[in-house]
Every structure is written in C-alpha cells, then in structure tokens.
C-alpha cells in the first residue's frame, strides 16, 4: 500500500504540474522487485542469497566507473558508492549470522571487513563510516536481549540526520556548526538544499512536479552541467511532491522498520539489515543514493532477506525477547 501510494502520488503531482514521474516510478519498481527477490532468496537460501548480494555490490562498486567516487556536476556519485558498500557490508554480516558453521561465519565476516576496507581504498569517506557503523551494530546486535530498542534507535538516528539536513537548509543552525557542516558538504550542495526548501515552501501542497527541480532551482540552473537534483531525497520530494511526498517517504521507512520488528529471523540478522538500511537512508538525506537503480534494488533485496520466512528453521536459542518482539506466545 505504501509503495502503491508513492507511485500514485507521483502520477498525481506530475499530472497537476506537468512533471516527469518516470524516476519515481522506476525507484518504486526497483524496491518492489528487490524486496520480492529478497523474500524468495531469503526463504530458499538464507545464507547464499545475502552472500551473493554482498559480492555483487562489491564487484559493482569496483567495476562500474559511474558509481565511483569521482565528482561531476559538481557533486558526483559518492552517495551511490557509499550506499552500495553499506548494503554489501550488511548483507555479508547478515549471511554470517545466518550461517551455522563457524568457518562460514568467519569467511563471511572477513568479506564484510574487506568491503569496509574497499570503501577506504576507493576514497569514499561516507562509505567507510557507514560500513564501519554497520559492522559495529552487527557485533552489538548479538548481545542485545531484544530488537525493539535497536529498531527504535535506528529510526531515531535517521530522523536526526534528516532533521539536521533540514535545519542546515533552513539556515537555523548556529553559525559555527553551520559553517563546519557547509565546509564538509560543500557550499554548492547547501545552496541546492536551500533552493529545494524554498520551492517546498512556495508549493507545499503538490510541489513543483516530479523531475522539475532542475528547471526551477536557481542554483541548478546556474551550474554549467546541472544534474537536476538537490542531492537530498527528503528535500527533493518536498520540493517536487510537497508535504505528502515527504510523508510517504517517512511511511516507507516506518514500514521497513515495522517489517523488521515483526520478522521471524534472528535478532542479529534483523538489526544488522536494519543498520545497513538506516545507513542508506541517512546517506540519501545528503546525497543522490536513491537515484541509482542498483541502490534501490539492493535496499529492497536486503529488506526482503531480513524479513523472509526460511523454509528451514535457523538454529538459534529461542529467547523470550525475540518471541515478545514478534507478538507470539511461549509454549511450555
């Protein structure tokens, strides 16, 4: 229902504002296809499916130049690189937690470390931080008594990052922190965000139409080779699809977190996948990660694997916290 509403609202705003909804529809289709594939793969091959996904993300990052950390127009594709590496790390860690043999767990854990190291080698600072965060969260997940607090913490983290981006765009941060963040994120990116927020204020109901930010944003139109994006998923939706677009984006995140909370998979698998998906959401708040089909498919795939019902029950101790998290009852 949430994904259908996202697609329908993009068509409504496009019809009202003469927009181009193809990008939004492609993203919704990619997430849906990835989620369906993840549910099937996670049910049939709970270890092999995420392992292959992790390797695919690593190979794609290294082999495809367009997803590398180079800068063009002038911000580049750093968001896609960081997001794919974070998803790959999360998939490898989830596969390690699902494996039953210690050797397989060790090998998959090593793969996660290799992916994290690759982020440093290719120069993606955001990717390295995201991968390291996923690794730490995965290690901590094995010691948590339940998943509820962890999932709430992930949601709060994404909300805080989004709020920080929004505050910087709205010029409400103190001068010191604002200057420091602007120096790290580049002044051009911050100007794009302010253009998007200005358009969102002027067209709060329907936005300016999907795909039309590049036609109306003053900073974009003044760039020699504009890419037509504000490099922030929530601000882009606010500018192009109004308040409803932002609400639907938040509903999508809440749906994923709720599905993870209700998942029959082990808590370490669920929280590891949640940490990777939260990293992608945070990266998308200040980058173009969700504009790349590979990232949308990968996010849906990892969410599907983490919420699948494996045909063969995973060997793990049944803990009361896990049972309560799924709303079930313990039998004597």
pLDDT in tens, 155-166: 999 999 999 999
Locate 110 and state its tokens. Answer: 């090593």
Determine the structural domain holding residue 223 and report its residue range. 2-310
pLDDT beyond 90 at 167: yes
Q: What is the distance between the alpha carbons of residues 228 and 73, in angstroms, rounded to a whole number?
A: 10
CB distance 135 to 113 below 8 Å: yes
Question: What is the tally of structural domains in the chain?
Answer: 1
- For residue 330, what pLDDT is reported? 42
Cα–Cα distances in angstroms (integers) from residue 130 to residues 79, 150, 296, in the given order: 11, 17, 17
Q: Which of 206, 205, 223, 202 is nearest to 214 (CA)?
A: 223
- For residue 145, what pLDDT is reported? 82
In a domain, 218, yes or no: yes
In a domain, 104, yes or no: yes
Q: What pTM was estimated for this model as a whole?
A: 0.88
Q: Which of 199, 219, 185, 159 is nearest to 287 (CA)?
A: 185
In a domain, 201, yes or no: yes
Average pLDDT across the chain, whole number: 86
In a domain, 326, yes or no: no
- What is the sign, positive or negative, of the torsion defined by CA atoms of 330, 308, 44, 140? negative
In a domain, 131, yes or no: yes
Using a 10 angstrom Cβ sphere, with 0-12 exposed, 13-18 middle and 19 or more buried, the burial of residue 46 is buried
pLDDT beyond 90 at 259: yes
Q: What is the distance between the alpha carbons of residues 318 and 146, in angstroms, rounded to a whole number?
A: 11
In a domain, 234, yes or no: yes
In a domain, 331, yes or no: no
In a domain, 330, yes or no: no
| Interval 130-154 mean pLDDT | 92
């Amino acid at each position: 229902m949430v994904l259908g509403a996202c697609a329908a609202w993009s068509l409504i705003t496009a019809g009202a504002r003469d927009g181009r909804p193809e990008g939004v529809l492609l993203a919704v289709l990619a997430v849906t296809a990835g989620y369906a594939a993840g549910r099937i793969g996670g049910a049939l091959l709970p270890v092999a499916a995420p392992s292959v996904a992790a390797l695919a993300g690593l190979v794609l990052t290294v082999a495809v130049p367009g997803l590398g950390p180079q800068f063009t127009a002038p911000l580049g594709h750093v968001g896609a690189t960081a997001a794919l590496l974070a998803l790959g790390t999360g998939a490898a860690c989830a596969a390690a937690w699902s494996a039953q043999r210690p050797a397989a767990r060790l090998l998959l854990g090593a793969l996660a470390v290799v992916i994290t190291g690759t982020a440093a080698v290719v120069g993606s600072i955001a990717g390295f931080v995201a991968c390291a965060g996923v690794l730490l969260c995965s290690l901590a997940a094995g010691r948590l008594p339940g998943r509820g607090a962890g999932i709430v913490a992930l949601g709060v983290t994404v909300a805080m990052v989004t709020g920080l981006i929004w505050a910087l765009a709205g010029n409400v941060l103190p001068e010191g922190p604002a200057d420091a963040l602007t120096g790290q994120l580049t002044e051009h990116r911050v100007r794009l965000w302010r253009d998007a927020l200005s358009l969102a204020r002027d067209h709060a109901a329907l936005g300016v139409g999907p795909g039309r930010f590049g036609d109306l944003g003053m900073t974009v139109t003044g760039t020699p080779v504009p890419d037509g994006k504000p490099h922030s998923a929530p601000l882009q939706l606010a500018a192009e699809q109004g308040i409803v677009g932002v609400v639907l984006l938040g509903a999508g995140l809440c749906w994923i977190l709720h599905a993870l909370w209700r998942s029959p998979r082990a808590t370490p698998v669920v929280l590891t996948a949640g940490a990777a998906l939260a990293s992608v959401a945070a990266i998308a708040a200040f980058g173009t990660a969700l504009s790349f089909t590979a990232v949308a498919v990968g996010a849906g795939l990892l969410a599907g694997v983490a919420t699948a019902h494996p045909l063969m029950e995973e060997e793990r101790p049944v803990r009361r916290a896990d049972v309560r998290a799924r709303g079930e009852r313990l039998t004597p």
